[in-house]
Amino acid sequence: MWVRVLPGVLVSTGIQINKISHEDWMHRALKLAMQAFNADEVPVGCIIVHDNKIIGQGYNQCESLNDATAHAEMIAITSASSTLDNWRLNECAIYVTKEPCSMCAGAIVNSRIDKLYFGCYDEESGACGSSLRFVEVLLLLL
């Protein structure tokens, strides 16, 4: 089940959603984005939640680590997988401040994350509805 949460807009396909907790999770992701901003990185933050607990988090660190794959989502997925001692992140939700790119969207699908929430579209390289519909294509193939 994929859900997009944008400021003031809630799109769902019939799930009961506690809007306050979603806003709280996104607020935590925004705090991580501020850490990225303060480190002169692209300001993106991400958390992964399982059973109402944060099990992984990250913010963009491409510049500081000299690593093109050090996106917030990739770091959070690695952290969550370590926490659960499992690469399959079933029954998890990911909250990211900006629409994931194709690399991160692929990692989200491959790690079996159930729900995706993002704060804003990325018209240039977003892969979850704005410039690409990468996630929808991958889900059709599964």
Treating both helix axes as pointing N-terminal to C-terminal, what angle do 19-38 and 72-84 enclose, rounded to 10 degrees?
Answer: 120
Q: Is 63 a catalytic residue?
A: no
The one catalytic residue among 63, 73, 99, 136: 73
Alpha helices per DSSP H over 43-98: 62-65, 72-84
Give the 3-state secondary structure of residue 66: coil
Give the 3-state secondary structure of residue 30: helix
Q: Give the position of tokens 């995706």.
A: 116
The torsion of the CA quartet 41, 129, 25, 71, rounded to 10 degrees, works out to -30
**Residues annotated as part of the active site:** 73
